[in-house]
Amino acid sequence: MVRLVAVSKLKPANDILALHEAPARQLHFGENYAQELSQKAELLPRTIRWHFIGGLQSGRCKDLAKIPNLWCVSSIDSLKKAQLLDKHRGEKIKSDPETPKLNVHVQVNTSGEESKSGCAPGDEVVSLCRAIINDCPNLHLLGLMTIGAIARSVATTVENENEDFRLLKEQRDLVVKQLGLDRELELSMGMSEDFEGAIAMGSDEVRIGSTIFGQRPAKADAKIVA
């Protein structure tokens, strides 16, 4: 079953609640901005499973890790950030033992674009995954994530494979082999423009925003409580 993350950035809490309640009962929601996620998490039911999918800043790791129903951070791209999340999630677990470990994806820059975050394919990805597994007891490595080049996304179809997705699969296989893992790692790949092609290539998670929620307002005009 492919996990659907409904990307709700800049959308009001009422829109999220409507999708979370019957009949849709959508569980997983993704946010790009740490402060916005924190505010929405305080307003909305704890049954929502939040995903942080935006660029991760070290200064925001503490706030994110303290959100009890933050289900996953999908944009880990450095050991420092992983260690900060691990430290602060550990503090949260100590104060509230019912808080689960925090799932994480390592972000891979499969397109090589300077504008994109993520680890370089190869040793950098393997090393970060190894460190998370061995040295971050309060994190659980779910798998790898990529946001591919826009041109490749637009050209992606079920028949026309996306080069970024192919590379992410190769990186997943490399990590599993190099670390001798006895479990599969997830592939988080695919958005509104290319999710069908991503699923055809084995994606375990797709992140869909505008296709579900419609056009977003400008950030300056967005309101959490409409």
Name the band, by pLDDT with cuts 50, 70 and 90, for residue 143: very high
Residues contacting residue 129 through CB under 8 Å, at least 6 positions apart: 106, 141, 175, 179, 185
Residue 77: inside a domain:
yes
Q: What is the pLDDT of residues 5-57, one digit of tens each?
A: 999 999 999 999 999 999 999 999 999 999 999 999 999 999 999 999 999 99
Residues composing the chain: 226
Q: For residue 85, what are its two tokens?
A: 């999340």
Within 10 angstroms of residue 92's Cβ, the number of other Cβ atoms is 19
Q: Is residue 219 part of a domain?
A: no
pLDDT at site 162:
92
In a domain, 75, yes or no: yes
**Structure-token match 């699969």, residue found:** 169
On whether residue 226 sits in a domain, the answer given is no
Where in the sequence is the domain holding 35, given as residue range(s)? 3-214
> Is 38 within a domain?
yes
Count up the domains in the chain and report the number: 1
For residue 140, the domain's CATH number is 3.20.20.10
The pLDDT of residue 157 is: 74
CA distance 149 to 109: 10
The pTM (predicted TM-score) of the whole model is 0.95
> Mean pLDDT over all residues of the chain?
96
Q: How far apart are CA 155 and CA 178, in angstroms?
A: 32
Which letter does DSSP use for residue 143 in this model?
E
Question: Each residue of 75-91: pLDDT tens digit?
Answer: 999 999 999 999 999 99
Domain-embedded: residue 147: yes
Q: What is the model's pLDDT at position 176? A: 98
Q: 7, 30 in Cβ contact below 8 A?
A: yes
CA dist., res. 133 & res. 103, Å (int): 11
Q: What pLDDT is attached to residue 160?
A: 78
Residue 178, pLDDT > 90, answer: yes
